[in-house]
Structure 1
Amino acid sequence: MIKKHTLDNGIRIVMEKIDYVKSASIGIWVNVGSNNENEETNGLSHFIEHMLFKGTENRKANEIAEDIDNLGGQLNAFTSKECTCFYVKVLDENIKDAVDILSDMFFNSLFQQEEIDKEISVVIEEIKMYEDSPEDVVHDKLTELIFKNSPMAYNILGTEENLKTFTTKKVVEYMKKNYTPYNTVIAVAGSFDEQEFVRMINEKFKDWHNDNIKHVDPEAEYKRSVVGVNKDLEQLHMCIGNKTIGRHHKNYYPLLVLNNLFGGTMSSRIFQEVREKKGLVYSIYSFVSNYSNTGIFSIYAGMSYNQAEDALRTILKEMISIKNGNISDEEFNRAKQQIKGNYILGLESTSSRMSSIGRRELLYNEIQYPEEVIESINNVKKKDVLNVAAELFDIDSLSITFTGNLNKNKDIEDKINKVLGEKYED
């Protein structure tokens, strides 16, 4: 049973009690991510996530780490395009101390300029680490193309140029403007006393007041593109993608089934055809990134330069095959079963249960039970998947990003455009 309680100041608390465990996971979810930023503030949401670990009025940075370790707990955080989450997992006997640490970080962080300057260097190294990963480079470049002229296109980490402008004043002002009780959810899952937990949260958070902010997402101006990034690499890394639907769309679950059978697993179409049967790539998979109102469907493949044409051609042929209705009952049912299995297995930890209820309440203001998700997956029909494929697998609307040694392989873009221009429809 999932219960919800709203404090007088607007903070929502969602709770799922699980009697057979001896731990609890607690998360503070704030509806603030890179999607809230502009060109000047890009990277601040993620940077604030880092800074909350750098010392408060009551604890130095090392004392935050030591206090959590003394509890035998785990403390972490992450930032996405739509939200930031600070979370902890502890034994049920240590919930009060965990809430004290989380709330102290949330309200009493110092944001000293000395610590900001040090953390700027840390995040710049994080950016460099991602730039050294070809998969991340092509994924990020595809996101830029799909969500062009929209905050959804921003890199969550920001840019080195922006980071160097961050000051105590800039950090505090951004947090004061964007963090409000109305866009904050506190989620807990595991072993805990519900009334006592609400009392603890109320005690720590009741005096927080801030005006609600209305965030409007500008519509991205998607126009298909083929873009390369030059890097001295032994392989060519490619992303093929299209703009797709948000999590609330009626075709969300058919999209998940389509992704699973097309490239989501080792038994999927493109893994079997491109890697196993033809040996054209080492790594290939598809995935979907769904947000509140929009999303990306993408295929990643890493290959040698001379295999690029054959690999891309095979992928596109498989798209058209599915568009033409070539989905067997066996692979359709297997895809649904895999999605259900992954979902249920993922709910066997208090952390994932907390994430599930916290994210759902934050972004959609609703409670969704596992039984409802399973029913939605079961209700997907093959015709629903084909309807999604008809729009998503339109060759003329696919964007492609690639990275590799383009100085030595100057004709790669021409080869990609040549394959895209070939006739595939039967």
Structure 2
Amino acid sequence: MNLTCQQLTLPNGLKVVLTPMPTESVTVSLLVRVGSRDETAKLNGISHFFEHMVFKGTKKWPTPMAVNRMIDSVGGVFNAMTSQEHTGFWVKIAKTHLPLALDFVNQTVFHSLLPQAELEKERGVILEEIKMFEDNPMRHVYDQFVSQVYSSTALGRPIIGLPENIKKMTRSHLVNHLQSWYQPQNMVLTVAGGLDRETEKLIGSVFADTGKDFNLKHGSVKLADKGGVKLVKKDIQQFHFCLGLTTFERIHPDRYVLGLLSLILGGNTSSRLWNEIREKRGLVYYIHAGIDSYFDTGYLVVRAGCDVNRAEEAIKITVGQLQKMTGKITDQELAEAKEYIKGHLALSLEDSQEVADLFGEDLLIEGKTKTIREIIAGVEAVTTKQVQALTKKLLADNQLHLTVVSPLADEAKFAKLVM
């Protein structure tokens, strides 16, 4: 199980990753190293706003309908996303239409018109998107957890922005955002799928005329990790909570250990939390443990929703299961977790979009790509003792954070469970 990718850098500084795959489709993905953590408090949400606006008309296709039709007319799909650390734009299309996909990404990202009339309409769309997230307790509690963990930093601000910011954003703000951050030296272009010998030349011709010098810096965060409880009272039926703690940066030597720790704890339907809380007790419909890592920090979090009358029980068991990860972990648990990761990796390698994201994000955030063999070797090298030791260290060095969205309002009662 391996893929060979070719890396090159265009004269304007744009990094390119080419990954041939035996598929009839091809994915073109342009990742830009700017996200919500790079924004000021007053312009929080601008990265996401800009991502919405690029499809509202370009020099070549001046209306939203014209933009949409270019990909719809050949049966392709396109979209964009914004995270704390990067913004991404992608097209997946039949490999015979690769020239169109490259042109589409170039036009929408570098030559968007950002029309004022569309900006006003999209402002309303984003404000409704904010309401939608707040009305979804599973999403809302997670957003509030991140806000709690990184409360004193830009990482704690919502990716989508606050309504008061969105209402004040102007076209000039978007143009300045484009000119400041959207430079080739701050980007990675990945093309994965059915490539041919002309792909490299084609990329050079499409993207050669873009860019100027880039000298902005990405600030790191300093945390005063005090842990604690954040309670958001909401008139809903369930008790939704996130329980977690801060970990470490994306390229930390223990990153594979942390991934396996999270998986054994609550990463799938064979995990300890799923078995103890859902299968044995029927306390929850959903419960899941996961990790998120940035270039300078990260966190481990358990997410769940339960009956309000059994909330204390669910939290106590979750805390207990995390603490038990410092004790015995069987060879079978670890072996099955490793096979799970390798199996999911194998499935993802069948999808050109997944492959483009895998190599593109590595190069953008870490400055280099990892081979599939390197990833598997990192996973295989982990021992049960390492998982136990890492759990002990994380619990010793960090305070637990508990975030709750529920109709209950007794913060002190839940604080006793995690302090």
Q: Extract structure 1 runs of 4+ deviating beyond 4 A.
A: none
d(CA) in 2 for partners of 1:271 and 1:384?
23
Q: Map 1:98-113 to 2 at 5 A.
A: 98-113=101-116
- Of 82, 86, 99, 2:89 maps to 86
1:86 Cα deviation (Å)?
A: 0.7
Partner of 1:177: 180
d(CA) in 1 for partners of 2:104 and 2:401?
45
Q: Secondary structure at the match of 1:26?
A: strand
Which residue identity lines up with residue 284 of structure 1 in the other structure?
I
d(CA) in 2 for partners of 1:141 and 1:131?
10
d(CA) in 2 for partners of 1:95 and 1:136?
36
d(CA) in 2 for partners of 1:394 and 1:284?
24
1:289 Cα deviation (Å)?
A: 1.0
- Of 298, 302, 307, 2:305 maps to 302
The sequence identity of aligned pairs, in percent, is 35
Deviations 1:108-164 (A, max 9, x none): 211121111100100111111110111111111111121122111111100111001
Judge conservation of contact 2:225–2:399 (CA < 8 Å) in 1: no
Partner of 2:416: 418
Deviations 1:55-100 (A, max 9, x none): 1122111011111011221111111111111111111111111111
Pair 1:218 & 2:221 matched: yes
d(CA) in 2 for partners of 1:87 and 1:209?
19
- Of 383, 398, 401, 2:400 maps to 398
Which residue identity lines up with residue 417 of structure 2 in the other structure?
V
Judge conservation of contact 2:228–2:415 (CA < 8 Å) in 1: no
Partner of 1:287: 290
Partner of 1:382: 384
Q: Map 1:252-331 to 2 at 5 A.
A: 252-323=255-326, 325-331=327-333
1:167 Cα deviation (Å)?
A: 1.1
Q: Map 1:87-166 to 2 at 5 A.
A: 87-166=90-169
Partner of 2:373: 371
Judge conservation of contact 2:228–2:418 (CA < 8 Å) in 1: no
d(CA) in 1 for partners of 2:208 and 2:132?
40
Judge conservation of contact 2:325–2:387 (CA < 8 Å) in 1: no
Judge conservation of contact 2:402–2:418 (CA < 8 Å) in 1: no
Structure 1, gaps ≥5 residues long? 422-426
- Please report the RMSD computed on the Cα atoms of aligned residues, expressed in angstroms: 1.5
Q: Secondary structure at the match of 2:339?
A: helix
Which residue identity lines up with residue 339 of structure 1 in the other structure?
I
d(CA) in 1 for partners of 2:397 and 2:7?
45
Q: Secondary structure at the match of 2:290?
A: strand
Q: Secondary structure at the match of 1:27?
A: strand
Which residue identity lines up with residue 418 of structure 1 in the other structure?
K
d(CA) in 2 for partners of 1:279 and 1:72?
44
d(CA) in 1 for partners of 2:47 and 2:342?
33
d(CA) in 2 for partners of 1:328 and 1:382?
7
Judge conservation of contact 1:395–1:420 (CA < 8 Å) in 2: no
Partner of 2:353: 351
Partner of 2:66: 63
Partner of 2:363: 361
- Of 332, 335, 344, 2:334 maps to 332
Q: Secondary structure at the match of 2:80?
A: strand
d(CA) in 2 for partners of 1:57 and 1:221?
47
1:174 Cα deviation (Å)?
A: 1.4
Change over 3 Å in CA distance of 1:395–1:273 after alignment to 2: farther
Deviations 1:155-178 (A, max 9, x none): 110011100111111110111111
Q: Secondary structure at the match of 1:284?
A: strand
Partner of 1:24: 26
Change over 3 Å in CA distance of 1:83–1:368 after alignment to 2: same
Q: Secondary structure at the match of 1:15?
A: strand
Pair 1:193 & 2:196 matched: yes
Structure 2, gaps ≥5 residues long? none
Q: Secondary structure at the match of 2:258?
A: helix
TM-score normalised according to structure 2 size: 0.96
d(CA) in 1 for partners of 2:353 and 2:143?
27
